[in-house]
Amino acid sequence: MRIDKELLKGSTVILILTLLDRRPMYGYEMLTEIEQASGGVFQFKEGTLYPILHALESSGYVESYWDRTESARQRKYYRITDKGRGHLTAKRREWVTFRSAVDRVIGEGGIS
Amino acid sequence: MSKQIQTYLDTVCQQVKYREVHDEIRRELGSHLEDAVEKYTSSGMAEADAVNAALTDMGDPALVGQQLNKTHQPRTEWGLLIATLLFVVLGCWAMYAIEVGMGSGARPGFFIHKLLWSFAGLAAAAALIFVDYRRLRRYSPLLYAVTLGGAALLAATVPSLNSSLWGISYTPILFAVALAGIFTDWDWDRPHAVPKAMGLFAAPLLLYLAHPAAFMEGLEFAAVAAILVWRSRPHRQQAAAMAGAGLTVAGIAAFRLWNTPHMRYHLIGALTDPTGEGYMTHQSLLTLQQAGWWGHGLAEGLPALPGRDSELVFTFLVHSLGWVAGAAICCLILFFLRRLISASRTVRDPYGASLIVAAAAIFAFRFAWNLLMTVGLLPIAGVDLPFISYGKQGAVQLALVGLVLGIFRRKEIIRTAALPQ
């Protein structure tokens, strides 16, 4: 099922920060994780991930470093910062509020 | 890497105005595309089809480039800029008021000189904002050597140990800029790292301490240098060794100072004797007390207040504008220092961050000492209020702010993540 782009835009930051909260990752790795973890629901134009990552770094929520893995390919890793963790907590709270509000409106038999 | 991928990356980079980040973008996106192609080919797809698929998944290159461009733009630290300009205005106003208050038969030129030096400083600052500060780094050892040599020459050619050293008050800033460069990426694991660091620290300090006139510069240098060395992250034992050595020397110096009757008298007298050594402090405190909430305005030039254009300019301002204004000026100073410190944290380049920390240390030292002098908590010691006092120092300080603004400006448009070895 194709998810509306607008819905996706708002939650991409929370998805990325949640992943990085677990461990540092590089861009391609993040995309693969999101696709797997969401059961294939979230697939978006891969290129748009990088402007978001760069903007997150500019805001101080993540920091990047280049590293070499076993395959000897240089990859740019991102890790979350303390400021990023704080932002993630705030965004999570926001999401829960939003989600329960929508559930309440939809669930209360308002629109069928 | 395939030609198609190269073309894709070129299109992305065309949208990104600042070329410095192009290399990093190409590497990052290129690495991603290689991973994507590999995933397709490993599941049986032909190379050419895999490349097409990967590029399609990536999306419109122009769009990606435009979005990247939004992040990689120059930044302005408005807080620092506005605070600095306010300081300059305050300084010019103060000099004007002093001149007006002097009436006729006064030594002319406070105001016009202050204006001229302020313009010179602002011009230097404007130029430094657009210079790439990283070019400075390779000259750091040279700057250190020249400054040390110059200071030594100054000290050697002066007639007596007690005469003043022209130009010595500019040397702490120069040493600070040089040491910021030297101690970025200082390898504490290489042999003799500690003696070398201590040598760099000790040489200027010995020079300063040999001349009573340069004592304050020595203190300032010690504070800033210690901060820069500490920032370069020595190992714990090394840090302990250096701190131990430093404190021992400081202890010996303080002991000797205390046991020189002349110096001890000066120190105690400065804080307690209102008619002798402590005259300036006493006058400052009296004047502050008489200021009132809203001050006495422009009219009173306060001829009785010594150093009202230099060390005690804050007292003069409070007397003219009132206690409320004095508190506001203090808030502005704290705001300025806080912006400097947070700028040093958001700049990711270690050299740039160190330069900003050095500037913050210098300004903090001078603002703090001057204000504490004004209220009698520290002896009067020839430390002027940055930007506001009369003199050429203000121009150099403005240039330093320009350097900081230039560093901040570039923080999103230079590559900061080091490549693996």
CATH of the domain at A29: 1.10.10.10
User: Above 60 in pLDDT, residue A110?
Assistant: no
Q: Which amino acid is at A41?
A: V
CB contact under 8 A, B28 and A27: yes
At residue B255 the predicted structure's pLDDT band, cuts being 50, 70 and 90, is confident
- pLDDT per residue as tens digits for the range B308-350: 888 888 988 988 888 999 999 999 999 999 999 999 999 999 9
B349: helix, coil or strand?
coil
d(C-alpha B327, C-alpha B304), whole Å: 24
User: Above 80 in pLDDT, residue A56?
Assistant: yes
A80: helix, coil or strand?
strand
User: Above 70 in pLDDT, residue B147?
Assistant: yes
A111 within domain boundaries: no
Per-position b or e across B89-103, b if 16+ CB within 10 A of its CB: ebbbbbbbbbbebee
Exposed / middle / buried, residue B38 (Cβ in 10 Å: 0-12, 13-18, 19+): middle
* Chain A contact present for B299, CB below 8 A: no
Distance from the Cα of A5 to chain B's closest Cα (Å) equals 14
At residue A71 the predicted structure's pLDDT band, cuts being 50, 70 and 90, is low
Interface residue of A5, A12, A32, A46 to substitute, partner B, most B CBs within 10 Å = A46
Per-position b or e across B330-368, b if 16+ CB within 10 A of its CB: eebbeebbebbeebbebbbbbbbbbbbbbbbbbbbbbbe
ipTM of the complex in this document: 0.87
Q: Quote the Cα angle for A49-B13-A55, to 5°.
A: 35
Q: For residues A81 and A60, is the Cβ–Cβ distance under 8 A?
A: yes
Range of weakest confidence among B122-136, B153-167, B169-183: B153-167
Name the residue facing B346 among A27, A50, A60 (closest C-beta).
Answer: A60
- pLDDT per residue as tens digits for the range A72-85: 788 999 999 999 99
Q: For residues B390 and B113, is the Cβ–Cβ distance under 8 A?
A: yes
User: Residue B267: CB partners within 8 Å, gap ≥ 6?
Assistant: B257, B379
Note the pLDDT of residue B304.
74
At residue B105 the predicted structure's pLDDT band, cuts being 50, 70 and 90, is low
Where are the domains positioned within chain B? Answer: 3-71, 78-409
Note the pLDDT of residue A74.
85
Find chain B residues with C-beta within 8 A of A26's C-beta: 31-32
Note the pLDDT of residue B1.
66
* Chain A contact present for B71, CB below 8 A: yes
Element (H, E) at A4: none
Note the pLDDT of residue B183.
94
A112 within domain boundaries: no
Structure tokens at B51: 């490349």
Find chain A residues with C-beta within 8 A of B57's C-beta: 45-46
- pLDDT per residue as tens digits for the range A9-52: 667 889 999 999 999 999 999 999 988 888 777 777 788 899 99
Note the pLDDT of residue B32.
94
Length of chain A: 112
Find chain B residues with C-beta within 8 A of A67's C-beta: 420
Name the residue facing B412 among A50, A58, A64 (closest C-beta).
Answer: A58
pLDDT over 70 percentage in chain B:
94
Note the pLDDT of residue B11.
96
Q: In this predicted model, which residue has the larger pLDDT, B378 or B299?
A: B378
User: Above 70 in pLDDT, residue B373?
Assistant: yes
List all residues of chain A from 76 to 105 with a beta carbon under 8 Å from chain B: 76
Range of the domain at A27: 5-106
Distance from the Cα of A4 to chain B's closest Cα (Å) equals 16
Q: For residues B172 and B362, is the Cβ–Cβ distance under 8 A?
A: yes
Q: Quote the Cα angle for B253-B258-B259, to 5°.
A: 100
Report the number of distinct structural domains present in chain A: 1
How far CA B50 is from CA of A40, B2, B8, B41, in Å, comes to 20, 11, 15, 6
d(C-alpha B142, C-alpha B230), whole Å: 22
* Chain A contact present for B163, CB below 8 A: no
Q: Which amino acid is at B409?
A: R
Note the pLDDT of residue B256.
78
Average pLDDT of chain B, as a whole number: 88
Find chain A residues with C-beta within 8 A of B72's C-beta: 54
CB contact under 8 A, A46 and B418: no
- pLDDT per residue as tens digits for the range B58-97: 999 999 999 999 999 999 999 999 999 999 999 999 888 8
User: Above 70 in pLDDT, residue A64?
Assistant: yes
* Chain A contact present for B70, CB below 8 A: yes
Q: In this predicted model, which residue has the larger pLDDT, B105 or B286?
A: B286
User: Average pLDDT of B388-393?
Assistant: 90
* Chain A contact present for B42, CB below 8 A: no
How far CA B195 is from CA of B190, B202, B245, B250, in Å, comes to 11, 10, 11, 18
- pLDDT per residue as tens digits for the range B186-244: 999 998 889 999 999 999 988 888 887 788 898 999 999 999 999 999 999 899 988 89
Neighbours of B382 (CB within 10 A): 16
Name the residue facing B67 among A26, A51, A76 (closest C-beta).
Answer: A51
Note the pLDDT of residue A8.
65
Structure tokens at B399: 């240039």
Find chain A residues with C-beta within 8 A of B417's C-beta: 64-66, 76
